[in-house]
Structure 1
Amino acid sequence: MAGDDNRLGSFLRSRREKIDAASAGVIDNTRRRVKGLRREELALLAGLSPSYYIRLEQGRDRNPSREILEALARVLRLDDTERAYLWSVAMPPLAPAGDDSDPAHAVRPGVLHLLERWRDLPAFVVSPSRDVLAGTTLAARVNPAWSPGHNLIEFAFLDPRARTVYPDREEILLQAVAGLRATAATRRSELDGFVASMRERSETFRALWDSHDVYERVVGEKRLAVDGLGILRLSFETFALAGSEGHVLYVYFPRPGSTDDEALRDLT
């Protein structure tokens, strides 16, 4: 994907380099000159032949069994999201059939009706590539990136306003790329071009993408700098909308009775 045809091998290598050899049970009295586990060490810990694992990481063998994947996930200490990503790159699903006339950009009328009624909440719908397709008026007032016509990834990495809007921008960037990689595992054909474009346009994006971190934050909290209000602290929930489009609904909300709650009511 976007210069990474061997996604399985690249992901395995990136995780291998993050495992501490001593904590994994490797006894080595020599001065180590490699990060993490050596390929041969990982292979032995997983019960594989070193030559087979090397072929797997180099992309010369791309058909590992379920047992092999489970063994590698155990040694690499993958969490649930990383395990799902490992499975998806090792056994990618068939591309879904569908209408190519306007892929993924038509938000259902019922969802639009809900957004119109949620006048007191920042809420918006995004495509797999994080294009904002629809949103509440309040969402655009809280964050310019949360309005239709913007892309969350492009805004965070390329728009100068992001440095002001996101007090914790570095963490936002890490989460954005890790989440995009998780999405790309199942929607590769849709995201190839977007990822390639971002790699060209942003050195920071390229470095984070090449780190192969993968996780999704479906709930959490963000701090945002809002004109006239200062720093607003909002929780969020995400909802995957049924359908082949891959749309996700984000809803942000303050803690009841907090100063953030009062500030958001004033803004409304």
Structure 2
Amino acid sequence: MAHDDNQLGSYLRSRREKVDAASAGVVGHTRRRVKGLRREELALLAGLSPSYYARIEQGRDRRPSREILQALAQVLRLDDTERAYLWSLAMPSLAPAEDDPEAVRTVRPGVLHLLERWADLPAFVVGPGRDVLAGTALAARVNPAWSPGHNLVRFTFLDPRARTVYPEWDAIALQAVAGLRTTAAARPGELDALVAELREHSGTFRSLWDSHDVYERTTGEKQLRVDGVGVLRLRFETFALTGPEGHVLYVYFARPGSPDDEALRGLI
């Protein structure tokens, strides 16, 4: 994420701007001209001196202690995903990134065998940058982005078909960016080129990325418009595949006996 060399400060600033001052216990007698908490208000609520907190947010102190991070996270009301992201920015992993790009793109034979057996399910494997590496034929039939050679985030923001495929495009876009930012923090430098490309070609992506939201969703429901079928409502589960490659398996399915299930079976 080379476009911003003070990720920790930018994230803290974006979070304090989202905190309601009154609910945080700040009593004011004049009309506020800033969103959320002021820098000095956050510092005092977290038990820090305003000058020291300013050093953190301005990037002059990039390694605050665990106790300070915990205090800030509590005042900012960060959820588990946001706390993990904060930790990754302040205490980045010392583990080297995967050196062999081909290894990152190679799906294990056992996983490929499972995909061959799951002909009745839309299922696919993605790498850390959301490149689709392998998938079932049904996955590609349901969504063109779910076929090998496509990138889920590029499709969402740069392919005109995306707004047709995703009836709830705004929500999908927000989740895609927040999820990508979470992964980028866990794998420093690995996704910089992809982020730079998307920032250059999509103003919407750039705006969402700069909001510093993070998100990790392992299950849920998604609506997809399928040619010749209409809108399908499918559930999904995700499975992180153990190993340095960072692969994730997505499996979609319909509620048994539902019209969506019947329509999905008709695509096989």
Please, what TM-score do these two structures have when normalized by structure 1?
Answer: 0.98
One-letter identity of the residue aligned with 2:71: A
| CA RMSD across the alignment | 0.9
CA 1:123–1:87 in structure 2 vs 1: closer, same or farther (change >3 Å)? same
One-letter identity of the residue aligned with 1:226: V
Q: Residues 113-262 of structure 1 correspond to what in structure 2 (within 5 A)? A: 113-262=113-262
Partners of 1:127 and 1:101 in 2: CA distance: 11
Taking every aligned residue pair, what percent have the same amino acid on both sides? 79
Q: Is the 8 A contact 1:2 1:195 kept in 2?
A: no
Cα deviation digits, residues 113-147 of structure 1 (max 9, x gap): 10011000000000111000000000000000000
Measure how far apart 1:2 and its partner are. Answer: 3.5
Residue matched to 2:4: 4
3-state DSSP of counterpart to 2:120: coil
3-state DSSP of counterpart to 1:106: coil
Q: Residues 48-59 of structure 1 correspond to what in structure 2 (within 5 A)? A: 48-59=48-59
Measure how far apart 1:194 and its partner are. Answer: 0.9
Residue matched to 1:73: 73
3-state DSSP of counterpart to 2:102: coil
Q: Is the 8 A contact 1:124 1:146 kept in 2?
A: yes
Partners of 1:97 and 1:193 in 2: CA distance: 15
Partners of 2:158 and 2:77 in 1: CA distance: 34
Matched, 1:107 2:103: no
How many residue pairs match? The answer is 268
Measure how far apart 1:101 and its partner are. Answer: 5.3
3-state DSSP of counterpart to 1:262: helix
3-state DSSP of counterpart to 2:104: coil
Residue matched to 2:22: 22
**Unaligned ranges ≥5, structure 2:** none
Q: Which 4+ runs in 1 deviate beyond 6 A?
A: none
One-letter identity of the residue aligned with 1:14: S
3-state DSSP of counterpart to 2:190: helix
Partners of 1:99 and 1:159 in 2: CA distance: 30
Partners of 1:125 and 1:62 in 2: CA distance: 35
Measure how far apart 1:47 and its partner are. Answer: 0.1
Measure how far apart 1:100 and its partner are. Answer: 2.1
Q: Is the 8 A contact 1:2 1:193 kept in 2?
A: no
Partners of 2:101 and 2:175 in 1: CA distance: 31
Please, what TM-score do these two structures have when normalized by structure 2?
Answer: 0.98
Partners of 1:231 and 1:72 in 2: CA distance: 43
Q: Is the 8 A contact 2:98 2:245 kept in 1?
A: no
3-state DSSP of counterpart to 1:188: coil
Measure how far apart 1:53 and its partner are. Answer: 0.4
Measure how far apart 1:96 and its partner are. Answer: 2.7
Residue matched to 2:39: 39
3-state DSSP of counterpart to 1:2: coil
Measure how far apart 1:102 and its partner are. Answer: 1.7
3-state DSSP of counterpart to 2:41: helix
3-state DSSP of counterpart to 2:234: strand
Residue matched to 2:91: 91
CA 1:31–1:231 in structure 2 vs 1: closer, same or farther (change >3 Å)? same
One-letter identity of the residue aligned with 1:28: G
Q: Is the 8 A contact 1:63 1:90 kept in 2?
A: yes
Partners of 1:107 and 1:265 in 2: CA distance: 27
